[in-house]
Chain A
Amino acid sequence: MKKVKSAILGPGNIGTDLLLKIKKNAKNIEVVLFAGIIDGGLGLELARKMGVPTSIDGVEAILADDSIKIVFEATGAKAHLENAPRYRKAGKIAIDLTPAAVGPYLVPAVNMDANFEGDNFNMVTCGGQATIPMVAAVNQVTPVEYAEIVATIASKSAGPGTRANIDEFTQTTAKALVTVGGAKKARAIILLNPAEPPIMMRNTVYCRVQHPERLEKIRESVDRMAEHVRQYVPGYRVRLEPIADGDKITLMVEVEGEGAFLPKYAGNLDIITAAAMATGEKIAERLQGISQ
C-alpha cells in the first residue's frame, strides 16, 4: 500500500530523532518534508544527506503542499497554537509534540482507540508517556485516588524549550494523569540530574489506591501494560515491580532510548517521538482505509 505523506516541523533534537525513527521503522508513513525556519542546523543537514526534502520556510512550506496529510509539530507550544487552525483548514492532521494541548492527550498504549477520529493529537510530555500507562494499569485493578509521578532525566537531555517553561511539564503531566491515566487527582515532579555519564530516564510512580491488597493483580496488569508500551518503545522497562506500603503503591520504570539520533540515555525524548510515530502509523491506517 502507498505510504501516507507526512511532514515534520522543527528540525531540533525531537524532530530529527522522529525523522530517523520514521525512516527506519515506519510502515504506513513517509516524511516528504522536513521544515524549519533557520538554516544550518545538524538536523537539516542530516535530512539532506538522507535525501529528505527540506525547507526553511517553516509552516508555509508545509501548507503549500497538498499531498502532505499528517504534520508532526516539533516546535514549541506557542508556534503550535498559531499553526493548529491552519493545519485544520488545510485538511491536515496534526500530531503535536509540544505542550500546546490543542487536541486531546494521546498515550498510544492507553487511549489510542478511543481517539481514533479527530485531527489534532497531543503527545503530553515525556514523563506523561512514561508514567500514564502505569497509572492506567493500576487503575484497571483498583481505583487510583491520587497519582504522583517523579521523572528524573539527564540534564543533557533537557532542551531549552523544557528548561524555559518547566512548569508546563509538571502541569501538563498532572492533567493527563487524570484525564488519560484515570487518577482522581495527580501531581508531577521533574528532576534534572547532571551526572556523567548521563543517567537513563527514570520514573517513579506512586498511587494511593482503594485496594492495595490486590498487589498480585496490580503486578500482572503493570507487566501487561509494559509489554504493550514496548511494542512502540522497545527500551521501556519496569525497574521496580509494584510494592505496597499501606494504601500506597510504588513502582519504577526506566526508558532506554533507541539511540537513533539521540544517545541511549535520552529515553525521555525517545518515548515521545516513539509515541508520535505510533500515533502517525495508526492514523495512516485510517487514511489508507478511506482512500481504498
Chain B
Amino acid sequence: MKDTEMKKIRIIDSTLRDGMHAVSHQFSPDDMAVIAAALDAAGVDTVEIGHGDGQGGSTYQYGFAKASDEDYLRAVSSVLTRSKLDILILPGIGTEPDIELGAKYGAKVVRIATHVTEADIGAQHIAFTKSLGMEAITFLMMAHMAPVEKVVEQAKLFESYGADVVYVTDSAGAMLPSEVAEKVSAVKAAVAIPVGFHAHNNLGLAIGNTLAAVQAGASVVDGCLCGLGAGAGNAQIEVLAAVFDRMHIETGIDLYKIMDAAENEVRPRMRQPLAITKLELSIGWAGVYGSFLLHSIRAGKKFGVDPRDILVELGRLKTVGGQEDLIIDVASRLAAEKEQRKSQTVAGK
C-alpha cells in the first residue's frame, strides 16, 4: 500500500442482531426496517439482523422474539439499497434451512459463530453458505477463554472449511487491549483471509479494543448504533466512524448520517440507557457471556439471590455462550444454599 492510499476498514453493524439482546428481542419488523434504512443511507457496508442468538434463536431458552425470522428478513430486505444483508447462525441452534431462508430474502453474508474451541461444528454451515454463493464470516466466540495457540488453531480450521473472514470475538467483553492485539496478530499471521474483531463494553474497552485489533491487523470490525448490544453493549458504531475518520481510515460511513441514525432511530427505542453498572462489570470481570445479563437479573428476582453471585458462579463453572438454562439451575442452587445457611443460623441461636 502506498502512503497516500487510505487504509480501509469494513464495519459490520449488528444493532439489529446483537442489539436485540438489549431489548429482549422485541424490535418489531417495522423498527428493524426503519433502523436498517438509516444504516443503509449512512453507507454502512453490512447490516446484520435477527434474534440476538441468531436465526432460530427465538426459543424459551433465549427468549421469544417479537416476530419470526422471516418477518424480520422480509422487512429489512425491502429497504436495503446498498448495504449487504447479514444473518447469524450459531451451529447447534440455527440450521441449514435457516441459511436457505436468508438466501431467499437476499442475504449476502452469513456469520457462523462457534465457541472458540469448537470450530468444527461450523464446517457444514460454512460449506452450505458457500454453496449458495454467499459470504461466510466466522466467529470464534468467547475468545478470552482459550490460549493464543488454540485461537490460532481454530482460526485455521475455519479457513480450511472455506471461511471468507475469521473473527476474534470478545463475547464476554472480558479481553484487555494487550490480549486483543496478541490474539488478532497471531491469527492474522496464520491465515490468508481477513481477520475481524467483535467487542463488548463490559470493561469499558469496546472502542479501545477495536482500535487495538485494527492496529494488530484486523480489517473487519463490528459496531452498533448507540452501542446497543448484549451486556454493556458493543463498540458504538458512530464513535467508530468518527475515530476512524480522525485516524484517516476509510469506512464508507457518513458521520452525520450515522449519528442521526443513532439519535433519531435507536435512542428513542432503547428500553434503558446502556451503562456499565455493577452487573455488566461483573460479566466482564467474570468473563461470562454478555447475553446472560437480563436472564440473570430475572432469575435473581425469582429466586431472591444477588444476580452478581449468579454471574460469578457461571464464570467459575466455565459456561459457554448459549447456556442460559444453567442460570436457573445456579440461581435455584444458590437460593437453596442461602436458605440452608439461614436455618443453620437460626438453629445456632
Contact = CB atoms under 8 A, between A and B. Distances in A.
Interface of A: 148, 150, 152, 155, 158, 160, 163-167, 169-171, 187, 189-195, 202, 204, 206, 208, 239-240, 243, 245, 248, 250, 252
A239 B329 contact: yes
Given A164-B124, A189-B59, A194 B91 contact: no
A167 to B, nearest CB: 4
Given A163-B121, A164-B120, A248-B60, 6 more contacts: A152-B326, A169-B92, A189-B61, A193-B319, A194-B118, A195-B319
Which of A169, A189, A204 has its CB near the most chain B CB atoms (within 10 A)?
A189
25 contacts: A148-B60, A148-B61, A150-B61, A150-B325, A155-B118, A158-B121, A163-B118, A165-B124, A167-B96, A170-B95, A187-B59, A189-B322, A190-B92, A192-B92, A192-B121, A193-B319, A194-B117, A194-B118, A195-B317, A202-B326, A206-B61, A240-B329, A248-B60, A250-B328, A252-B325
B115 A194 contact: yes
B59 A163 contact: no
A152 B319 CA distance: 10
A163 B318 CA distance: 21
Nearest to A146: B60
Contact of A155 (B95, B117, B125, B329): B117
A250 B59 CA distance: 13
Nearest to B56: A187
A166 B90 CA distance: 11
Interface string B26-69: 00000000000000000000000000000010011100000000
Q: How large is the interface on B (under 10, 10 to 19, 20 to 34, 35 or more residues)?
A: 20 to 34
Contacts, number: 81
Interface of A is mostly: strand
Contact of A171 (B95, B318, B322): B95
A191 B123 contact: no
4 A-B pairs with least C-beta separation: A204-B325, A195-B318, A206-B60, A167-B95
B318 to A, nearest CB: 4
Contact of B115 (A170, A190, A192, A202): A192
Interface in B78-131: 91-93, 95-96, 115, 117-118, 120-121, 123-125
B310 to A, nearest CB: 15
Interface centre among A166, A202, A206 (most CB of B within 10 A): A166
